[in-house]
Chain A
Amino acid sequence: MPLAAFTWTEFAQQIAAGVREGAIYAGLALAIVIIYRSTRVINFAQGEMATFTTFIAWSLMNRGLSFWVAFPIVLAIAFAGGVTIERVLIRPVENAPVLTIVIITLGLALLLNGLMSIIWGGANRQFRGPFSTRTIDVGGVPISVQDIGIVVVSIALVALLALFFRFTKLGLALRAAAVNPDSSRLAGVRVGWMLALGWGIAAVLGAVAGMMIAPVVFLDPNMMQTILLYAFAAAVLGGLDSPAGAVVGGILLGVTITLLGRYVGFIGSTLKLPVALLLILILLLIRPGGLFGRVAVRRV
């Protein structure tokens, strides 16, 4: 593909698009990190869970609800769904090897994916988002309102979450249960419920990411699959243990691959994902804990 002439305006637009992509990855990556921190499990169903809730939003809006009315309802459903999944599917195998739990989440991903095809069909659907797609001029660079909206919502969500974890008793208990379940029990924390709560929060984050990205791409059962991979990559990039890392990793990844895809002809759109993974692999070899993660020193 021959490259069009380079202009700074376009470069800035690409960066903006990358940040928007990255904000979505960051949201999903954060969901992955929250579950990982508390249960040491990677939830491979995270993408499917997000798409499922987005479909629910679509159905509600199809019945005439406006986006901002459907939004909180969907978040509540997502939360309840996440908690239920943890209680029913993950709890019984809490002490099983990691692989068992990974496989259960893979099974859940397949199950949800099939259910979506059955309930809503496999066709692409247009999802009307809350933001207009018209562009406005930001310091000489045309950027769409939608992109700005997505980034603002993501930042707001991350900020809310940070406040919750830092300043509320429940947030503190969640963190405590993640780092030291035994001592948390002795302090009176119901650790089992904290894990379920973690899944609930992760499901909410996923739902928001789904509802933000659906207007940009199209809504179909496989919508989140590639995005989930980028989110994994973002989480690994930032360090699976670090929520802040997930956010930074997401944005960094979004911008990097957008620029690489646009300006490096050889990579184009087909090799974006392999190249992103290669970069992360190299990073992991240099810093095994990711950018922000700490490599735990274990006692044996």
Chain B
Amino acid sequence: MSLLELESVGARYGPVKVLHEVSLTVGEGELVAVLGANGAGKTTTLRAVSGTVRRSGDVVFEGHKLPRRPEATARAGIAHVPEGRGTFSELSVWENLRLGAYTRRGKIRDDAKRVYAFFPRLEERRDQQAGTLSGGEQQMLALGRAMMARPKLLLLDEPSLGLAPLVVKEIFEALARMKEKDGISVLVVEQNANLALAHAGRAYVLEVGRVVVAGTSDELRANESVRRSYLGY
């Protein structure tokens, strides 16, 4: 059984329907990528899972249907790092991390230590306002905050957006380690298809709100049209 299952999920913004019958699965410990051009519905797919957009169809997590309330999604064990990272820019780094653990009871010092081990720079900036961090540091903070919740599934929206290649590398390496060490499953949206396929086991390609191709990373890399449209060689 998969951890997350989307069964013909649709979503709309007002009168505009942006997702049509999208079905996808994420298994335990899997890193799955969603690829596509601008406006294909990648971000909306994530938002449909976390319930921050009006949706139709079922989202099943660990065998239970998820209610369409972001708070409930978070409590069920899904951490969504949204577009633009969603850090609390007016709060300090440490306060951001505390908020990450909001749904949990008990001590959080150890979790914070784990986050600092992944991203030592966050520890140096512990009391600094999140808004004053660099883009890369903010992305680290967003990931760190998500880790604090000890989620079973991580939803990541364009983690590479606007970051220098070195920082992107650092972040994806951290992601890989998280997946290995904690068995977190990841559903990541990326425009940089090369990067995503290098790290993901499987991927879905969206075009105007529909899944047009799905398969393992190797299969997609071998697919003629995917290669031409998204990988650029």
Select the stretch in B84-92, B181-189, B205-213, B220-228 that faces chain A. B84-92
Distance in angstroms from B66 CB to nearest chain A CB is 13
- Within 8 Å of chain A (Cβ to Cβ): is B180? no
Q: Which residue of A lies closest to B51 (CB)?
A: A185
**Pairwise interchain contact A180-B75, C-beta atoms closer than 8 A:** no
Complex alpha-carbon distance, A182 and B84, angstroms: 12
Complex interface: chain B residues within 8 A of A172 (CB) = 91, 95, 98-99, 102
**Pairwise interchain contact B102-A189, C-beta atoms closer than 8 A:** yes
- Within 8 Å of chain A (Cβ to Cβ): is B100? yes
Complex alpha-carbon distance, A1 and B134, angstroms: 62
**Pairwise interchain contact A173-B71, C-beta atoms closer than 8 A:** no
Complex interface: chain A residues within 8 A of B100 (CB) = 187
Distance in angstroms from A175 CB to nearest chain B CB is 7
If A176-B88, A179-B90, A179-B91 touch, whether A185 touches B102 (CB-CB below 8 Å) is no
- Within 8 Å of chain A (Cβ to Cβ): is B145? yes
Distance in angstroms from A44 CB to nearest chain B CB is 26
CB-CB contacts of B66-94 with A at 8 A, as 1s and 0s? Answer: 00011101110001101000111111000
If A182-B86, A186-B86 touch, whether A176 touches B70 (CB-CB below 8 Å) is no
Complex interface: chain A residues within 8 A of B69 (CB) = 185
Distance in angstroms from A15 CB to nearest chain B CB is 35
**Pairwise interchain contact B70-A173, C-beta atoms closer than 8 A:** no
Q: Could you tell me which residues of chain A, from 170 to 225, have a CB within 8 Å of some CB in chain B?
A: 172-173, 175-176, 179-180, 182-191
If A169-B98, A172-B98 touch, whether A186 touches B90 (CB-CB below 8 Å) is no
* Best-buried of A175, A180, A185, A191 by chain B (most CB within 10 Å): A185
If A179-B90, A180-B88, A183-B82 touch, whether A188 touches B95 (CB-CB below 8 Å) is no
If A169-B98, A172-B99, A180-B86 touch, whether A185 touches B74 (CB-CB below 8 Å) is yes
Q: Which one of B88, B95, B103, B149 lies within 8 Å of A183 (CB-CB)?
A: B88
Complex alpha-carbon distance, A143 and B43, angstroms: 64
- Within 8 Å of chain A (Cβ to Cβ): is B2? no
Complex alpha-carbon distance, A203 and B82, angstroms: 35
Complex interface: chain B residues within 8 A of A176 (CB) = 88, 91, 95, 99
CB-CB contacts of A83-109 with B at 8 A, as 1s and 0s? Answer: 000000000000000000000000000
**Pairwise interchain contact A187-B99, C-beta atoms closer than 8 A:** yes
Complex alpha-carbon distance, A159 and B138, angstroms: 32
Q: Which residue of A lies closest to B103 (CB)?
A: A188
Complex alpha-carbon distance, A186 and B87, angstroms: 11
**Pairwise interchain contact B50-A186, C-beta atoms closer than 8 A:** yes
**Pairwise interchain contact A169-B52, C-beta atoms closer than 8 A:** no
**Pairwise interchain contact B91-A183, C-beta atoms closer than 8 A:** no
**Pairwise interchain contact A186-B88, C-beta atoms closer than 8 A:** no
If A176-B88, A180-B86 touch, whether A187 touches B52 (CB-CB below 8 Å) is no
Distance in angstroms from A37 CB to nearest chain B CB is 10
Complex alpha-carbon distance, A101 and B201, angstroms: 50
Complex alpha-carbon distance, A187 and B97, angstroms: 10
Complex interface: chain B residues within 8 A of A179 (CB) = 88-91
Distance in angstroms from A28 CB to nearest chain B CB is 24
Complex interface: chain B residues within 8 A of A184 (CB) = 88, 99
Complex alpha-carbon distance, A172 and B103, angstroms: 13
**Pairwise interchain contact A188-B98, C-beta atoms closer than 8 A:** no
**Pairwise interchain contact B82-A188, C-beta atoms closer than 8 A:** no
**Pairwise interchain contact A169-B102, C-beta atoms closer than 8 A:** yes
Complex interface: chain A residues within 8 A of B79 (CB) = 186
Q: Could you tell me which residues of chain B, from 86 to 123, have a CB within 8 Å of some CB in chain A?
A: 86-91, 95, 98-100, 102-103
25 A-B pairs in the complex with CB atoms less than 8 angstroms apart: A169-B98, A169-B102, A172-B95, A172-B98, A180-B86, A180-B88, A183-B82, A184-B99, A185-B52, A185-B69, A185-B70, A186-B50, A186-B52, A186-B73, A186-B74, A186-B82, A187-B74, A187-B99, A187-B100, A187-B102, A187-B103, A187-B145, A187-B149, A188-B102, A188-B103
- In order of increasing CB-CB distance, the 10 nearest A-B pairs are A188-B74, A188-B103, A185-B70, A183-B86, A179-B90, A186-B80, A187-B99, A187-B102, A188-B102, A180-B88
User: Which residues on B are within 8 Å of A, measured CB to CB?
Assistant: 50, 52, 69-71, 73-75, 79-80, 82, 86-91, 95, 98-100, 102-103, 145, 149
Given A176-B91, A182-B52, 17 extra CB contacts under 8 A: A169-B102, A172-B98, A172-B99, A172-B102, A176-B99, A179-B88, A179-B89, A180-B90, A183-B87, A184-B88, A184-B99, A185-B70, A186-B70, A186-B82, A188-B71, A188-B103, A188-B149
